[in-house]
Amino acid sequence: MLMIVSVCLPMLGAFDAPVELEQEIVRDESPPTPCLGADACRGEDAGMTSDTAMDISDDFTWPDGDETNSYWGHMEADEVSTGYCISCDSNIDVYHIDMQPGYGLSVEVTWNNTGVSTMEYYSYMISFGWPDEIISYYQGSWGYDYYSPTGEISFDSHEGEGVGTYGYEYVDFPVDVMGDTVAVFVWCYYCNYSYYGINNLDYGMNITTYVADGGVPGDETTPMLNPILEMPDEPFSWSYHTDTFELDGSTTAFVDIVCDYWCPFENTIDITKPDGTVWSGSYWPSYWEGNIANFSDAGEYTVEIYDSYGDGGVGLIVGNSLGNFSGMLSVSEFVFEDKLSGHVSQTDGSDVYAIVLPENYFANLTLDWDANADLDLHLYTGFDAATETLSGLFAFSWFDQPEFIDIGQLGDAQTIFAEVIYYGGTDSHAGYSLE
């Protein structure tokens, strides 16, 4: 079956003053001065819906590193005084940040615990989501964080729930925001509870943006697997999953998992090896993710995943190691496009990505960016994981914006490698999208 696939990547221009260097990007910066009061120095209430949320995007300058803006907010919380209200406008503040490609986001919310009651520890809750999806801390959100004896909770697009004692995550992290708008949802949980004498209506908020490749802060690379078997945590609830994979004896298969909060209480995994013996593992820490086993003997392996409560909570992937990369793009007969974002600069000159393509696909890659800079795109056939060296350059794009490479039909299934390079420009750094 012949398939056509589009994979887009951000790329570099080259040589003498390419057309992309003729742009000039103008941005506002920092919160309003003088501060006009809550919320976020605007002197007005941040709304609770996508239409009424407060847009604070212009407060950020997107530097080559971290940037933190500090705000304070105020909840009226006057619709209900006997507990929480999940749908009251006076208990909810929502802020929108129109992100740039190649950046992540973390938010810390603080308040003053006065000691009147331990119920103060529940004063606030924070969550993230896409503006057109999130309507509460759990409906359409990526997850949430709450409860703090010190009056501090946080959420991060890289790691999800943060310093609060409790929380939950509905999506896999890191989330590569890819230049889209993020909604920051602050909820007065028990900030105004008259029965306990709680009146914590004021809160602080520190918002930090940071450069990221594939949603991971800085210029870190991550071990990538070429999947042999994928067993996602789907559907929403399940008690038993089973599947098989085969090895030819010439490679090592790595078994990685991602856990939810209840993993240490509910989940076990059995893997029956070709010789009939069984490898077993169980009860990993909450939100744990990583490698649990490696296999290399030839033959068929049977994987069985159990959830004692019946609500699922662990996803598994078996694959061959490709090496450490800034990220990976992959497509299938059901998913024809993939996308990520990253960041390069004068001090972080290039990022390398693995691109996994099935048999008989046509493929093309597009690299796009907004900065007044010149980026280039190179494609290679080989990568030495031991030395992290690329080889077999077979295509490049230097002079356009966006950069574009049409690979054509590939024939056999294969993995190629893309290098995004910062060549120069008026801006010393650039966030980009690879699609």
For residue range 232-258, what is the model confidence (pLDDT) as tens digits? 999 989 999 999 999 999 889 999 999
- Nearest Cα residue to 346 out of 428, 227, 267, 435: 428
Local confidence band at 33 (pLDDT 50, 70, 90 cut-offs): confident
Q: What is the distance between the alpha carbons of residues 358 and 363, in angstroms, rounded to a whole number?
A: 10
Task: Among 298, 322, 346, identify where a domain stops.
Answer: 322
- Which three-class secondary structure state does DSSP give residue 264? helix
pLDDT > 60? residue 206 = yes
User: Strand, coil or helix: what is 119?
Assistant: helix
Single residue among 184, 200, 215 that ends a domain in this structure: 215
Judge whether 20 lies within some domain.
Answer: no
Tell me, yes or no, whether 305 and 334 share the same domain.
no
Nearest residue to 346 via CA among 260, 240, 423, 237: 423
Region 176-193: mean pLDDT is: 96
Do 43 and 171 lie in a common domain?
yes
Instruction: Say what the pLDDT of residue 20 is.
Output: 43
β-strands 267-272, 299-307 pairing: antiparallel
* Minimum mean pLDDT range among 201-205, 279-283, 284-288, 399-403: 284-288
Amino acid at residue number 59 = D
CA torsion angle for 405, 408, 410, 414 (degrees, to 10)? 20
Residues 200 and 288 reside in one and the same domain: no
Residue 4: which of 328, 341, 380, 357 has the closest Cα? Answer: 357
Distance CA 260, CA 198 (A): 32
pLDDT band at 160 (very low <50, low <70, confident <90, very high): very high
Do 208 and 114 belong together in one domain? Answer: yes
CB of 257 closer than 8 Å to CB of 314: yes
Please check whether residues 314 and 354 belong to one and the same domain: no
Mean pLDDT of 300-320: 95
Instruction: Please give the average per-residue pLDDT across 73-99, as a whole number.
Output: 88
Q: Measuring CA to CA, how many Å separate 399 from each of 137, 162, 405, 423?
A: 46, 43, 12, 11
Residue 107 within any structural domain of the chain: yes
What is the number of structural domains in the chain? 3
Q: Between these two residues, 224 and 293, which has the higher pLDDT value? A: 293
The region of weakest confidence among 74-88, 118-132, 292-306 is 74-88
Q: What are the structure tokens assigned to 136, written together?
A: 């509460």
Domain that holds residue 171: 28-61+66-215
Q: How many CA atoms lie within 13 Å of 140's alpha carbon, on the beta-carbon side?
A: 14
Give the Cα separation of 320 and 433 in Å (integer): 26
Separate counts of helices (H) and strands (E) for the chain:
1, 32
Mean pLDDT of 265-290: 95
What percentage of the chain reaches a pLDDT higher than 90? 71
**Is residue 201 domain-shared with residue 301, that is, in the same domain?**
no
- Report yes or no on 17 lying in a domain: no
Examine residue 312 and state whether it is found in any structural domain, yes or no: yes
Are 284 and 396 in a shared domain?
no
Whether residue 268 is found in the same domain as residue 280? yes
Could you tell me the end-to-end alpha-carbon distance of the chain, in angstroms, rounded to an integer? 24
Within-domain flag for 426: yes
Q: What is the pTM of this model?
A: 0.84
pLDDT confidence band for 16 (50 / 70 / 90): very low
In angstroms, rounded to a whole number, what is the distance separating the alpha carbons of residues 336 and 342?
21
pLDDT classification of 87: cutoffs 50, 70, 90: confident
| pLDDT score, position 29 | 58
Indicate whether 18 pLDDT > 50.
no
Per-residue CA distances from 82 to 96, 198, 301 (Å): 30, 10, 56
Same domain, residue pair 197 and 336: no
Indicate if the pLDDT at residue 99 is higher than 60: yes
Task: Report the CATH number at residue 98.
Answer: 2.60.120.380
Rg (CA), the chain: 24
Q: Are residues 226 and 198 in the same domain?
A: no
Higher pLDDT residue, 66 or 26?
66
Give domain status of residue 370, yes or no.
yes
* Residues 199 and 233 occupy one common structural domain: no
- Helical H runs in 316-397? none
Closest CA to 108 of 161, 49, 183: 161
Cis preceding linkage at 174, omega within 30: yes
Residue 81 has a pLDDT of 66
Kind of pairing between the strands at 192-193 and 222-231 = unpaired
Segment holding 348, helix H or strand E: none
Which helix (H) or strand (E) is 199 found in, with range?
A: strand 198-199
Classified as helix, coil or strand, 286 is coil
Cα distances (angstroms) measured from residue 352 to each of 12, 17, 81, 121, 377: 13, 25, 54, 44, 10
Given 3-state DSSP classes, what are the helix, strand and coil percentages for the chain, each rounded to the nearest 5?
A: 5, 50, 45
Residues 107 and 230 in one domain: no
Domain end (from 322, 342, 365): 322
With respect to residue 280, please indicate whether it lies within any of the assigned structural domains.
Answer: yes
Tokens 């800085």 found at: 218
Of 12, 3, 1, residue with least CA distance to 366: 12
In this structure, are residues 228 and 318 in contact, taking their beta carbons and an 8 Å threshold?
yes
Asked whether residue 234 is domain-assigned, the answer is yes
